[in-house]
Amino acid sequence: MDKKKIGEIVESRGVRYAEVADEIWGYAETAFREHKSMAAQIRLLEEEGFKVATNVGGVETAFCGEWGEGRPVIAFLGEFDALAGLSQKAGLDRREEEVPGGNGHGCGHNLLGVASIAAAAALKTIMREQGLKGIVRYYGCPGEEGGSGKAFMAREGVFADVDAAVTWHPSNCTFTAGTSSLANAQIYYRFRGVSAHAAAAPHLGRSALDAVELMNVGVQFLREHVIQEARLHYAITDAGGVSPNVVQPYAEVLYLLRAPKSGQVKEIVERVDRIAQGAALMTDTTVEKDFVKSCANIVNNETMERCLQKNLEFFGAPDFDAADEEFARKIFETTPEPGRFEDLEKRVRGAGKAGREALAEAKKDPLPRRILPYVPSGVPMGGSTDVGDVSWQTPTAQIYMGTWANSTPGHSWQVVTVGKSPLAHKGMLQAGKVMAAAGYDLMTDPELLKKAQEELKERLRGETYVPIPKGVAPRGLSGAKS
């Protein structure tokens, strides 16, 4: 098949896809509260002829659009949650909130889900025209930002019958991901003690805040004795009040623990648990553990990644114009100078001469027009993603598509301000084309699909998936405390 046809199909609906992406940008709903964003995508899926199921995996804002019958089942993953505190007016080259203290799409998720729907719809159209058997699905996956929606869905077996899954992420550069990610777990530790007058009767008090502080000191010492790649973050979410003359009877700390593999995170969690218990013993308080969520590391699939890279090179970067370049240049000038090009340098590491040449060319351009070389390193990137949980269930791979100015940091107002621009829309549509073409290859080439599945089995040999414990339910930002 001439894959240019896929590009034409996506472009023919481009205006509508941009409208929906902008609509979701305006809603800017955070983890597990994405009801309006979900409804907008469901309307789009129904327009495209998909049958939609909601409350998928028992997650209120998770849903699935499906078309076709038989095998194989090819899935596209979408996200659509925003970030708290990143409200920003669109199209500006300066920081200015749209809603004071409001939310914003600082990771481009308003684009992410829509491009995956575009890919699913284009593949469906080609399948219908060619009379192909198989099922194409779009999974609307909520709460990626700190909620790990896909991990809850994976725990419930939502992806169990999927033969392969494809996804993408907006970015400041364009490449196929050959890196893994850090697995993580997020846990509250709540200490309870006894209040007392801190001057008149301190001996009668048992300080929960002392317990939190001792726990944090213990974890600081633990850092020397865990693997180098591990990351242990914390926030004191309740210090027990504002009165220093009262012994604090309650205090709470939230930990986010990361490591390259889920089993390593599990071991670190057990050690942190013991530190918390020790802090409670030292202060004669009690401690309660509240497990919030976890996500697994990405299991790379080189077969899938090479398929995506081939299609990425076929379609190329978006066709940006002079207006896009002018806007991108203004945004580039607002980015932190010490961190410029760091992402580019990371992405070409290990690519040798081709990487150095790509880096040199990319540094000359405020727009991500260069397709970076594919580097199948499997090395964990700095962050975490619940795409990892899907990758343990079925062969999974993803691309990153330039939708922001070069060197734009993620989770920033710059991402939000660009999110409704033609620049972002062009990247979104290009991602849809690449994913649809890769989906077509997987749908029509049994040997390719078999190779990807055999690779997953081999990579999982001797490994153990650590799901979110049963009984733990998804929660939004304000639902953190019980």
Distance CA 304, CA 166 (A): 8
Q: Is 289 in the same domain as 304?
A: no
Alpha helices in 234-384 (DSSP H): 262-283, 302-315, 322-332, 342-348, 352-362
Q: Is 24 in the same domain as 167?
A: yes
Q: Give the domain range for residue 262.
A: 183-294
Q: What is the pLDDT of residues 406-434, one digit of tens each?
A: 999 999 999 999 999 999 999 999 999 99
If you average pLDDT over every residue of the chain, what do you get?
A: 95
Nearest in space to 253 (alpha carbons), one of 194, 190, 346: 190
Q: What is the pLDDT of residue 339?
A: 81
192 belongs to a structural domain: yes
Q: Is 187 in the same domain as 163?
A: no
The CA-based angle 211-215-217, given to 5 degrees, is 120
End-of-domain residue from the set 230, 262, 294: 294
Q: Is 309 in the same domain as 436?
A: yes
Q: Is 156 in the same domain as 271?
A: no
Q: Locate tokens 């010490």: which residue?
A: 338
**Spatial contact of 397 and 307, defined as CB atoms under 8 Å apart:** yes
Q: Is 370 in the same domain as 424?
A: yes
End-of-domain residue from the set 266, 294, 322: 294
147 belongs to a structural domain: yes
Residue 230 has pLDDT above 60, yes or no: yes
**Spatial contact of 141 and 150, defined as CB atoms under 8 Å apart:** yes
Q: What is the pLDDT of residues 284-295, one digit of tens each?
A: 999 999 999 999
Q: What is the pLDDT of residues 145-187, one digit of tens each?
A: 989 999 999 999 999 999 999 999 999 999 999 999 999 999 9
Q: What is the pLDDT of residue 482?
A: 23
CATH number of the domain where residue 166 is located: 3.40.630.10
Q: How confident is the model at residue 477 (pLDDT cuts 50, 70, 90)?
A: low
DSSP 33: -
Q: Is 325 in the same domain as 440?
A: yes
Question: Which residues lie closer than 8 Å to 239 by C-beta, 6 or more apart?
Answer: 209, 212, 248, 251
CATH number of the domain where residue 251 is located: 3.30.70.360
Nearest in space to 18 (alpha carbons), one of 428, 323, 324, 403: 428
164 belongs to a structural domain: yes
**Chain centroid, CA 424 distance in Å:** 18
Residue 478 has pLDDT above 50, yes or no: no
Backbone φ/ψ region at 367: left (φ over 0), alpha (ψ -120 to 50), beta = beta
Q: What is the pLDDT of residue 443?
A: 98
Q: How confident is the model at residue 342 (pLDDT cuts 50, 70, 90)?
A: confident
478 belongs to a structural domain: no
Residue 337 has pLDDT above 80, yes or no: yes
318 cis-preceded (ω within 30 degrees of 0): no
Q: What is the pLDDT of residue 481?
A: 28
50 belongs to a structural domain: yes
- Dihedral pair phi/psi, residue 356, rounded to 5°: -65, -40
Q: Is 407 in the same domain as 353?
A: yes
Here the tokens at position 265 are: 């995170």
Q: What is the pLDDT of residues 242-277, one digit of tens each?
A: 999 999 999 999 999 999 999 999 999 999 999 999
Domain count, the chain: 2
End-of-domain residue from the set 264, 294, 324: 294
Q: Is 211 in the same domain as 332?
A: no
477 belongs to a structural domain: no
Q: What is the pLDDT of residues 356-405, one digit of tens each?
A: 998 898 889 999 999 999 999 888 887 899 999 999 999 999 999 999 99
481 belongs to a structural domain: no
Backbone φ/ψ region at 270: left (φ over 0), alpha (ψ -120 to 50), beta = alpha
475 belongs to a structural domain: no
Q: Is 251 in the same domain as 148?
A: no
Q: Is 223 in the same domain as 152?
A: no
Determine how many CB atoms are found less than 10 A away from the CB of residue 2. Answer: 7
Q: What is the pLDDT of residue 382?
A: 79
Q: Is 237 in the same domain as 175?
A: no
